[in-house]
Structure 1
Amino acid sequence: MTTQEILKEYWGYDVFRPLQEDIINAVLDKKDVLALLPTGGGKSICFQVPAMASNGICLVISPLIALIKDQVQNLKNKGIPALSIYSGMSFIEVKKTLQNAVHGNYKFLYVSPERLETNLFLEFLPAMHINLIAVDESHCISQWGYDFRPSYLRIAALREYIPSVPVLALTASATKEVQDDICEKLLFKKTSERFQQSFDRPNLSYSAFNVSSKQNKLLEILNNVKGSAIVYCKSRKHTKDISDLLKLNKINADFYHAGLSNDERNIKQESWINNQTTVIVCTNAFGMGIDKPDVRVVVHYEVPDCLENYYQEAGRAGRDGKRSYAVLLYNDRELDDLQKQSNIRYPSQEEIKKVYIDLMNHLQIPAGSGAYSSYDFDIAIFSSAFKQNILTATYAIKTLEQESILSFNEVFFKPSTLVFNCSKETLNDFEIHNPQYSAIIKGLLRSYEGIFDYPATIYENQLARFIQRKREDIEKELLQLKYLGIVDYVQQKDKPQITLLLNRMYADSFLINLDNHLLRKKQFDIRVKAMINYINNTINCRSKEIAHYFNDPSVKKCGICDNCINQKELVITKEEFEQITEKITNIISTQSIALKTLIQHLAPTKKEKIWKVIDFLQSENKLIITKEGNISI
């Protein structure tokens, strides 16, 4: 099929969105491509369509397990065979997936970046007929970006094994410097092309409010803007507190954060997607990969760290093209705190070293060992036990991650696995003597192929529905079968995980690249300054300000952000100008008067209009303003 026919057949669209077809054609011409497409701009179609139009399988590299699972399931729902490999899968599961990628009729293999360098993956790589390498969230490869992930730096090594395969790098938000860095780190060829979709969102109204009571302002917004909404917060506690506040005020709300179990997160997410919940109050753990077109308002209850995050999160509003709102609430103290974040986010080398040593002692890892071992990790328990400031510990661990010393997976989910420990003859005999387990044994055998040969990933909820039992009863019986030696059952994990990438260093040999650390700190300061400038800007169009930050000069004034609306209201007609001038002249003709008092006398005329007239009269030398702030003829 042609790319147009593929688009219609599998996605139901008659035409491509702007730039999609150009990107697809460049990929089909075997060119390396950087595609900068804003949130909701249809990035996935840019690699899924050309992969479907080519022989072979597309390798998709993505950093988020939840995003991988969602995209693979979406492809399967369209009848497109897809596979995935991510952390938490057993060796046997990974090997079987790679065998399917080589020998099966699959079109997509989604992989988390840390899996690329394993010997097992590299062993199968030459036999895969890869037609395209798609690098999602490609800004993660740049140390100067807002979400640097060291595992992304290893993607370029793939090009040694499959040099003729083109690379498509996709991101929603990257400055010019980060764009250049992506192309360099991915070893783009000279024939490469870049495509940048306009950052113009003509239906999205941006605004920022400096308010004394955020709670009252939030209630006002959600009562005035009807429909689906997202409220972003920085802390998990805030999500629940604000959700409770909204419920007390008869607003249908729920909360979401990475500390909830996998099942809880799925239930809350589905409820909001299906409009059973109107407002989801969440941390930034929510939203990636969710394509809900009818979000009417996104409220940032607290100031984001950078415009990259703000733009991505705000951009989840109004994907259906209807009028929507992105509202940022802030106060002066928050802006002061944000400016102080640099020293907190980037601890000193001595602080990082102390956290590292305490962490190794907490996990009881001897010096010279531990590489590639994973451990359940609760940062609150660790910080309390070693009297560490929890923020210092958090950011020191992030630095250790950026230095490829360890990885910290806060949103970790490893599903349950099960394998039969006995022969089929023994199992038949066991069933005869223990008929109460017959239903669950038959359910396992019918649901999971190869469960006698290797540990299969099982899902207790699906099994419970299949044999029409409660999940709690299923878990209880599986544990009993384990106790009786019939199965080896390992229950699901969703606790945060620390994985060591290197053996524990001896204290006197601990080392990080301090120059890189300080450069990342400098880049953070630049991003903070841009965020604060955006908030404090009360004149320029907010859409233009965001577009300018991302090197897109094409965007024109939106006319619907708070600044554009305020500027419209400040337009003074000739009649208004003459009336205000006459009133000012009458008041100051006989006396000098304080500016504040003059403005009070001229109420209810807007003070911004009064200032416009005063500025003009002063420039024409028709009035004088003294150092004390008094005005006279």
Structure 2
Amino acid sequence: MTIQEILNTYWNHDTFRPMQEDIIQSVLLGHDTLALLPTGGGKSVCFQVPAMAKEGICIVVSPLIALMKDQVENLKEKGIEAVAIVSGMGKREVDMALDNCIYGAVKFLYLSPERLLSELVRERIKYMKVNLIAVDEAHCISQWGYDFRPSYLHIADLRELHPDVTVLALTATATAEVRIDIQEKLQFKKGIVFQKSFERKNISYVVQYEENKFRKMLDVATGVKGSGIVYVRSRRECAEIAKFYNDNGIKADYYHAGLTPDERSKKQESWKNNKTRIIVATNAFGMGIDKPDVRFVIHKDVPESLEAYYQEAGRAGRDEKKAYAVLLYNNADKARQHKIFELNFPAVDEIKLVYHCLSNYYKVAYGAGAGISFDLDLGGFCAQYKLDVIKTLNALKFLEQDEYLAFNESVFLPSRFRFEVFNEQLYNFQIQNQGWDAFIKTLLRSYGGAFENYVRLKEFDIARRANMSVQQVIEGLKQLQEYNVLSYLPQNDQPQVTYLKPRQHPNNVYINKQYIEQRKATYLKKMETVFAYCTNKKCRSQLLLTYFDEPNSDKCGICDVCLEEKRKLNASEVFDDITNEIAELLSNSPMDIDSLVTSIKNGIEKERLDTIRLLLDAGKIKFNGEKYYL
């Protein structure tokens, strides 16, 4: 099939979006390619179509686990075999998935970057017929980027395993410095860069200094019709602000990573279908959501970088109709950002303390633990050892950088099961154990493919079909596991820590202080750039485009700065017109205030009275107590 036929057959589109076809052709010609496409620009098609056009399997590296799982489900619905290997999966489950990639019909293998640290994964990738390596969110590979992930540096290992395979790197935001860094870190051979302009002509960027942010958020929602997103920093604020909107007659809901997957899905769908008008969310919301008719995005708090701001604000107006991106700030924001800055960079001793407390918490002996994953109750752990939660989170990230641990925040894995016996053996078990017959038949009717692979399982559905309680279903699955009939992996929605090497003695834990200082400098620079954006009285679009290395752009004409300039220009023109009229009227004869004001044709009454007052103060006209004259 041609790439057009693949697009039509699997994605039901007749034509590609701008730049997609050029990127695909570049990949098919074997060129290492970097593609910068805005959020919602159809990045996934750029690697999925060429991978379908070639024999073999495409490896996709992405840090967005929820998005990976969505894409795997979407591909399966199209009849395309895909698997995702993420943290939290058991060794046997990973083993089987990798086997299917080597010997089965799998076309797409999605990997979280830390999985590339696994010797098992690297060894098995050697034997795969890889046709393309796709790196999503490629800015994560650069320490100059706003979201650097140390595990991304291991993507280059894939190039050593498959030196002749083309690499496609994709991101929505990257400065010139980051673009160069991506190509170097991924060892591009004569790389080609496709970049769509970062300009969004339909978005009016507005920045307002505002002490009463709640009132302003209500004003925006009242003044702008249609659906919106309000981004906030904390989970507590999500619920608080959603309640504030609802109390004022505006249908709103909240969203953050602490909700269950079902809750998140329901809230998301309600908003996408316009049953909920406004979603109040942390930055956990938005990835992979392509709602075209978002009319406004409000940032209640100052974001950490212009990259993050541009990406989140860019969720407005994807239908190319007028939309607003509103950023609210005040003096308290700067103090809050500096406090967050301090918490983001714990001292070396604090990082080492977290490592040893964690090892004691899991009862990991010195020299043991390599390759083992543990669920992490972050709140409970910090309470037990009297640690600050934010500092601890950041300490884990620095321990990941130095490859002692891999840390994943809240990875949701649904329940899975697989039969451990052949069909005939299962049938014999049912005959010999009549009490289990109905339950096993329900499993067989509900889920296909469970003899070959682990399949997703919903305990609630089984309970309904088997006329049992959910708890009885769980106990039944555990019992069958004890009989070695099946393997049952209950759902998990906990952050996870994986030991990448055996537990080290305190004297052998080396934390790269120079790296921490580099990250601090990068973070501080980005933070200061955001505040400069807030306070600078230059066209907002020009400021953003200059940051993304498009320095010669035109003024947008629709941001708050451009509109203020227009208003002042108009006011100056109106003043001149009224002044000329007054001079002409009074040159004929003196006039009282009512006659003068009603005789002027230009401006509104306030502008006419203001002009008369200014001319009087300047001595250009005179007043004798009754009438005005020249």
TM-score (norm 2): 0.86
How far did residue 10 of structure 1 move? 3.0
Q: Choose which of 540, 553, 556 in structure 1 pairs with 2:554.
A: 556
Q: Is the 8 A contact 1:92 1:454 kept in 2?
A: no
Letter in 2 for 1:296: R
How far did residue 89 of structure 1 move? 2.3
- How far apart are the structure 2 equivalents of 1:193 and 1:485? 53
Letter in 2 for 1:112: S
Call closer, same or farther: CA 1:330–1:471 in 2, change over 3 Å.
farther
How many residues end up aligned between the 2 structures? 589
What residue number does 1:50 align with?
50
What residue number does 1:387 align with?
386
Letter in 2 for 1:424: L
How far did residue 19 of structure 1 move? 2.1
Q: Give SS of 1:571's match.
A: helix
- How far apart are the structure 1 equivalents of 2:375 and 2:155? 27
Q: Is the 8 A contact 2:87 2:496 kept in 1?
A: no
Q: Give SS of 2:569's match.
A: coil
Call closer, same or farther: CA 1:465–1:549 in 2, change over 3 Å.
farther
Deviation track 1:406-462 (CA, whole Å, cap 9, x = no partner) reads 122122123324456785366324652x2xx54432121234456568865423245
Letter in 1 for 2:80: I
What residue number does 1:625 align with?
none
- Please give the root-mean-square deviation of Cα atoms over the aligned residues, in Å: 3.1
- How far apart are the structure 1 equivalents of 2:507 and 2:6? 59
How far did residue 166 of structure 1 move? 0.8
What residue number does 1:334 align with?
333
Is the deviation greater in 453-462 or in 50-59?
A: 453-462
Q: Choose which of 539, 542, 547 in structure 2 pairs with 1:541.
A: 539
1:406 paired to 2:408? no
What residue number does 1:85 align with?
85
- How far apart are the structure 1 equivalents of 2:218 and 2:303? 20
- How far apart are the structure 2 equivalents of 1:456 and 1:578? 76
Letter in 1 for 2:93: E
Matches within 5 A, 1:122-133: 122-133=122-133
Deviation track 1:217-261 (CA, whole Å, cap 9, x = no partner) reads 112222222322211111111111112222222322222111122
How far did residue 44 of structure 1 move? 1.3
What residue number does 2:25 align with?
25
- How far apart are the structure 2 equivalents of 1:195 and 1:421? 48
- How far apart are the structure 2 equivalents of 1:456 and 1:3? 31
What residue number does 1:243 align with?
242
Call closer, same or farther: CA 1:468–1:557 in 2, change over 3 Å.
farther
Call closer, same or farther: CA 1:10–1:468 in 2, change over 3 Å.
farther
Q: Choose which of 419, 426, 429 in structure 2 pairs with 1:427.
A: 429
Deviation track 1:368-425 (CA, whole Å, cap 9, x = no partner) reads 2222222221222222222222332222222222222212212212332445678536
Letter in 2 for 1:550: F
Q: Give SS of 1:116's match.
A: helix
How far did residue 312 of structure 1 move? 0.9
What residue number does 1:195 align with?
194
Matches within 5 A, 1:99-498: 99-189=99-189, 191-418=190-417, 424=426, 427-429=429-431, 431-432=433-434, 434=435, 438-448=437-447, 451=450, 457-464=456-463, 471=470, 474-475=473-474, 477-478=476-477, 489-498=488-497
Q: Is the 8 A contact 2:72 2:83 kept in 1?
A: yes
Letter in 1 for 2:283: N
Call closer, same or farther: CA 1:178–1:258 in 2, change over 3 Å.
same
Structure 2 unpaired stretches of 5+: 583-604, 621-630
Is the deviation greater in 546-555 or in 35-44?
A: 546-555
Q: Is the 8 A contact 1:38 1:197 kept in 2?
A: yes
- How far apart are the structure 1 equivalents of 2:234 and 2:161? 43
Call closer, same or farther: CA 1:365–1:445 in 2, change over 3 Å.
same
Deviation track 1:462-517 (CA, whole Å, cap 9, x = no partner) reads 54566577656644654566688876544211122222222222112221111111
- How far apart are the structure 2 equivalents of 1:96 and 1:313? 38
Letter in 2 for 1:224: G
What residue number does 1:71 align with?
71
Is the deviation greater in 373-382 or in 132-141?
A: 373-382
Is the deviation greater in 324-333 or in 361-370?
A: 361-370
Letter in 2 for 1:234: R
What residue number does 1:598 align with?
none
Q: Is the 8 A contact 2:426 2:485 kept in 1?
A: no
What residue number does 2:95 align with?
95
Deviation track 1:570-619 (CA, whole Å, cap 9, x = no partner) reads 11444514768999xxxxxxxxxxxxxxxxxxx9669xx99xx99xx9xx
How far did residue 141 of structure 1 move? 0.8
What residue number does 2:601 align with?
none
What residue number does 2:514 align with?
515
Q: Is the 8 A contact 2:379 2:389 kept in 1?
A: yes
Q: Is the 8 A contact 1:206 1:326 kept in 2?
A: yes
Is the deviation greater in 473-482 or in 441-450?
A: 473-482
Call closer, same or farther: CA 1:487–1:220 in 2, change over 3 Å.
same
- How far apart are the structure 2 equivalents of 1:533 and 1:144? 19
- How far apart are the structure 1 equivalents of 2:568 and 2:140? 43
Q: Give SS of 1:293's match.
A: coil
